[in-house]
Amino acid sequence: MSKKKILITGFSGFVSRHLLVYLQENDRDVEICGIDISQPAFDFAAFPDIETVYHRVDLLETDAVKHLLAQFGPDYIVHLASFSSVAYSWKHPIECFQNNTNIFLNIIEAVQELHLKCRILSVGSSEEYGNVTEADLPLHEDNHLLPVSPYAVARVAQEMLSRIYADSYGVDIVMTRSFNHIGPWQDIRFVIPGFISRILAIKQKGQSQGTIETGDLSIVRDFVDVRDVVRAYYHLLLHGKSGELYNICSGTGIRLSDIVEKIAGMVGVKIDTVVNPDYVRLNDNRIIVGSHEKISADIGWNPVIPLEVTLKDMIAYYERNT
């Protein structure tokens, strides 16, 4: 029996790295082609039982994308590549929208033109839901979408393109709205790693208390461990229903102020916070909490890693690497 051929875009990112760990531990019968515009910082030797190659490819280059897909002939495509920062999308709206929309369009158009028989996992975001009220919670896949950032609009566009190509051309696409996923290896430019690195810096100075700058800590988010997320991605590739959309979330909301308090308690320092206006997003979603009822019913996925375990593992990682 031939190996599953999986193409991963955004290969150098932290989600891809966790997906490789999952495959190494659970399904070594795979051949991986990773593409990105930056060289992976991790060592392939950590995945000795997985056949893995990396190609530097700009997904905006249509001919290069089509050539690579024709050469590799994937059974599955996991589309992780994007500018994934909402804050970045406000500062660079044209670049973010064009990049995130066009790289996906180039992939699905190449799949359609080449008549490839492969399943595409189109990774979207909970940001698509926009500003909702507590009466709307938990958010289900049939909720109305009100995106409130350039990043979120691009994700909605990606989702609409997925539906067009699935309905019009029969391209096998499974879609997600992935909620805030966190874990070791995540870039400290993101909110939770940023909190952890700044709080650890206070401890490493030998201080028992200190102050960190933050954005708006009153907002509520649904955080899910990246290791639970990649497990969901893997099982959606194998068992998700074509043309369907799935929330990937914990189902529990928590205020960012409570996250800071938890991290400070685990690190063992007392933290005061002060709002830096530069960290406050324009028109930010006040509260995002999802329902994973649909994915649980369809493929039996449920989140299993508690937030406290995720934070503990992240603190241990950033202690070793900062």
| Domain 191-219+253-286+314-321 class, CATH top level | alpha beta
Q: CA separation (Å) from 240 to 6, 129, 300? A: 16, 22, 10
Please report the pLDDT score of residue 242 as a whole number. 97
Q: What mean pLDDT do residues 242-262 have?
A: 98
Are 4-182+224-251+289-304 and 191-219+253-286+314-321 equal in CATH topology? no
Averaged pLDDT, 66-88: 95
Task: State the CATH architecture for 4-182+224-251+289-304.
Answer: 3-Layer(aba) Sandwich (3.40)
Q: What is the mean pLDDT of residues 250-264?
A: 98
Q: At 310, is the pLDDT very low, low, confident or very high (cuts 50, 70, 90)?
A: very high
Lowest mean pLDDT among 8-17, 86-95, 139-148, 306-315: 86-95
- What is the average per-residue pLDDT within 96-108? 97
Q: How big is the CA angle at 224 (ends 187 and 242), to the nearest 5 degrees?
A: 105
